[in-house]
Structure 1
Amino acid sequence: MSGSKRRTVLRGGAAAVLAGAAAAACSPGSGKPATTGGRADVSATDPARTPAGRRMPAETARHRRTYLAWPPLDSDWADLAEDVQRDIAGIARAVAGFEPVTLLAAPEEAKAARRACGAGVEVIPVPVDDLWIRDSGPTFVSGRKGLEGIDLRFNGWGGKQRHPRDARVARSVAAHAGGARLDARLTGEGGALEVDGHGTLMATESSLVNDNRNPGLSRDRIEARLKELLGVSKVIWFKGVKGEDITDCHVDALARFAGDGVVLLSRPRPEDGPTVWSRVYDQARGVLKESTDALGRRLEVVDLPEPDRAVIGRRGRDFLGCYANYYVVNGGVIVPRFGDRGADRRAASVIGDLHPGRKVVQVDIPAVAEGGGGIHCATQQQPRV
């Protein structure tokens, strides 16, 4: 079995095609807080909260730190473990150019992780099964008494993989951050949630309204609980697709808020013809065309074309060539680079234009992408509250 997060459920992983591949990181930089399209990003001060006093800030709000996890050598990545560790080190170094980084690593691998990531990255001894801390870690919100870490009861994406150590990561990270652990009373993953900080949440039904995570719970009941947990007043639901990848179509590889009333949508190449993913894109675009956000604004949808696989070379079935899985940091944006030079430049330009004042840093992630994930999947922000 591969170490793939998003391995194709019906066909198995294809990580072996990348054996021996190396990863490289871009040099870090600095920047200023973002505005979008001439409109100030007010997500850090928006007052939207639940009756319980909770609110999840947008990713563009200021962070106290970023968390990552070090995939152990004895993980399911097998002969790709060293390659994916290089990718994680590259991401960690890039993020550390903008804000503090804390990386979780098994005690016996902490020394190697420190050596790979450098002195700018804090490494703490916490056993993990894999690198996907967006999903296994806590989703942080601001509560009436300060920071709270929502534990989404990670169960290996609906029981598709066993992650006994990762199931305890949310508790460990919340404690390290000094926040209270909040049991979600739902099962899901952080990659299934995308908020704008003004009361709007985007999510896919396939990853949350699914008996492999929340048996017997209707969409309405799940929505009500998410509103209570995250401080949102409106949920934009996409249909998604079940069973085509291990996440059951997480929203963070499909649609992202990129400023006030602006949504970036990952667009498959039309030249590749109709596929299950082009149908997911078409359905999501149709929903967004008819949607408003929680403040009543019509949404501006910006397509973010995916790279050409014929240009980037042979890749496995699980390869995630998705620029939308980028990560916003204090003063910057960390964006994947796949080797299609034209598409890489276009993605950096589009994302940079939508996050003015932030420095765009592109990072090669061949092993992480081969496992079906991206930079956003491998990171989790702790907001300033």
Structure 2
Amino acid sequence: MEKLYRMPAEWENHSATQLHWPANRETWPGDRLERVEIVYAEIISVLHRYEPVLLLVNTVEDRKRAESILKKFDPDIDLNRIHFHIVPLNDVWARDCGPVFIKRRSDTLTTVPEYAITNWIYNAWGQKYPPFDSDNKIPEWFADHFSIYMFSPDMVLEGGAIDTNGKGVLLTTESVLLNPNRNPQLTKAEIGKKLKRYLGMEKIIWLKKGLAGDDTDGHIDDLSRFLNENTILTMICEDENDVNYAALNENLDILRKSTDPNGNPFQILTLPMPKTRIEGSTVDGSEYVPASYANFYIANGVVLVPLYDERYDQAAIDLMSRFFPGRDIVGIECSDLVWGQGSIHCITQQLYGLENLG
């Protein structure tokens, strides 16, 4: 099937964006839930003006609460562009448990469906946060509900662990995909073979470690992302004493030496890390959160950029304006969201080829 499909780049046109309304009190204890609901309301308020939002909720009561908060936040919100579905959920991380779409190659047979789903196993980043069985079933729900063909590679993989330029190059990290809590039965070569087969990749760029406080073990969408086919943004630290300094420098060096399948180097751009150390600790005891400008989300007509640190926020917005001139650039304050150890890209998943979102 590697000759038939490829994983699209995020900037290719979407049918909608998948999100899950927050309700897990273990992830968001106390007033944390109410605070993150406001961040969700802002994200959805912006996003639904550019593309439909497919919002999964656990219960009828959660739907009513979401509608109430959305209307209060934005009295002009158009709920007709927000498609609610009541589906059993464990948590909000749609990027990691949602369906990873693949698209028929332009040079393949037209008898093959234009889009399909790859249904990877989701185990909550090495079984860190049980239960996760409901989230693991979400790709199957999409395939059944929307009648989309689905491939099941029989391998643990989260959507936040990979990023592609849409032209056969994949970014990922060894700290995630080679972690024994994911696929201990598979070698690096075997994992690479599955990625190439099911996602239509020609080349994989393996970075090393991720950020301190990243309970995913080092997702790529907190480190390095494609801005276009030939350009990669990667995060750096300016302070040699920063906990992330060495790991980010090592990743930068790898990227600078990387080439596309034709041997051409990539343009590598950098942004400094915002402040990642917090007062107190997160639910899992970390004094760091994976705050990163690399966790932006590209939608139809807009790029949502997480904001954390007034020293660097404008530089992140300016960079996105430069590389996405046809899209609006909207900054979202994400300190309350990243406290749960994920940000805008982590809670979104782009959807393709869906005609009826009801």
TM-score, scaled relative to structure 1: 0.81
> Is contact 1:195-1:201 (8 Å) kept?
yes
Match of 1:184 among 139, 153, 169: 153
Matched, 1:252 2:205: no
1:114–1:123 contact (8 Å) kept in structure 2:
no
CA distance in 2, matches of 1:362, 1:92: 13
Given candidates 303, 311, 326, the residue that maps to 2:296 is 326
8 Å CA contact 1:75, 1:130 repeated in 2: no
Is the 8 Å Cα contact of residues 208 and 247 (structure 2) preserved in structure 1? yes
Structure 1 position 153 matched with structure 2 position 155: no
Give CA deviations for 1:221-257 in whole Å, capped at 9, x if unaligned.
0000000111110000112259963211000100000
The alignment's C-alpha RMSD in Å is 2.1
Number of the residue aligned with 2:82: 121
Shift of 1:315: 6.8
Give the C-alpha shift of residue 85 in structure 1. Answer: 2.1
Q: Are the counterparts in 2 of residues 75 and 129 from structure 1 also a CA contact under 8 Å?
A: no
Measured in 1, the distance between the counterparts of 2:172 and 2:196 equals 12
Q: For residues 300 and 177 of structure 1, do their structure 2 counterparts lie closer, same or farther at Cα, with a shift above 3 Å needed?
A: farther
- Contact 2:101 2:116 survives alignment (8 Å): yes
Quick one: distance in 2 between partners of 1:323 and 1:85?
A: 21
Matching residue of 1:81 = 33
**TM-fit CA distance, 1:76:** 3.5
Q: Quote the Cα distance in structure 2 between the aligned partners of 1:297 and 1:121.
A: 42
Distance 2:295 2:262 in 1: 25
Is 1:135 equivalent to 2:70 in the alignment? no
Corresponding position of 2:169: 200
| Cα separation, 1, equivalents of 2:275 and 2:210 | 22
The letter of the residue matching 1:376 is H
Q: Report the 3-state secondary structure (helix = DSSP H, G, I; strand = E; otherwise coil) of the residue aligned with 1:78.
A: coil
> What secondary structure, in the 3-state scheme, does the structure 1 residue paired with 2:6 have?
coil
Confirm or deny: 8 A CA contact 2:214 2:290 kept in the other structure: no
Structure 2 unaligned segments of length 5 or more: list them: 71-76, 105-111, 282-286
1:101 partnered with 2:53: yes
Question: Are residues 286 and 297 of structure 1, via their aligned partners in 2, closer, same or farther at CA, if it must alter by over 3 Å?
Answer: same
Gap change, CA 1:87 and 1:74, over 3 Å in 2: same
What is the one-letter code of the residue matched to 2:293? Y
| Counterpart Cα distance in 1 of 2:144 and 2:26 | 25
2:351 aligns with 382
The SS at the match of 2:239 is helix
Task: Give the corresponding residue for 1:112.
Answer: 65
Q: Counterpart in 2 of 1:297?
A: 264
- Percent identity, please: 32
Residues 383 and 99 of structure 1: CA distance in aligned 2, closer, same or farther (over 3 Å)? same
Provide the C-alpha distance between the structure 2 equivalents of 1:344 and 1:77, rounded to a whole number of angstroms: 25
- Deviation of 1:198 after TM superposition, in Å, equals 0.6
Describe how 1:1-385 pairs up with structure 2 within 5 A.
50-51=2-3, 53-79=4-30, 80-107=32-59, 108-117=61-70, 118=77, 119=79, 120-143=81-104, 144-162=112-130, 163-240=132-209, 245-268=214-237, 270-271=238-239, 273-275=241-243, 277-308=244-275, 314=279, 316=281, 317-338=287-308, 340-384=309-353
Q: 1:320 to 1:246 in 2, by over 3 A?
A: closer
Residue in 2 that maps onto 1:33: none
1:291-343 Cα deviation digits (max 9, x unpaired):
11134321111001122469xx84742423211100001111000112x3231
Farther-moved stretch of structure 1 (115-124 vs 215-224): 115-124
CA distance in 2, matches of 1:132, 1:116: 20
Equivalent-residue separation in structure 2 for 1:200 and 1:65 (angstroms): 24
CA contact (8 A) 1:71 1:129 kept: no
Q: Are the aligned partners of 1:75 and 1:81 in contact in 2 as well (CA < 8 Å)?
A: no
State the distance in 1 between where 2:213 and 2:276 align. Answer: 19
Ranked by relative contact order (alpha carbons within 8 Å, sequence separation 6 or more), the top structure is 1
Q: Secondary structure at the match of 1:377?
A: helix
In 1, the alpha carbon distance for the partners of 2:165 and 2:14 equals 15
* Number of residue-to-residue matches in the alignment: 331
Deviation for aligned residue 1:274: 4.4
Question: What's the TM-score once normalised by structure 2's chain length?
Answer: 0.87
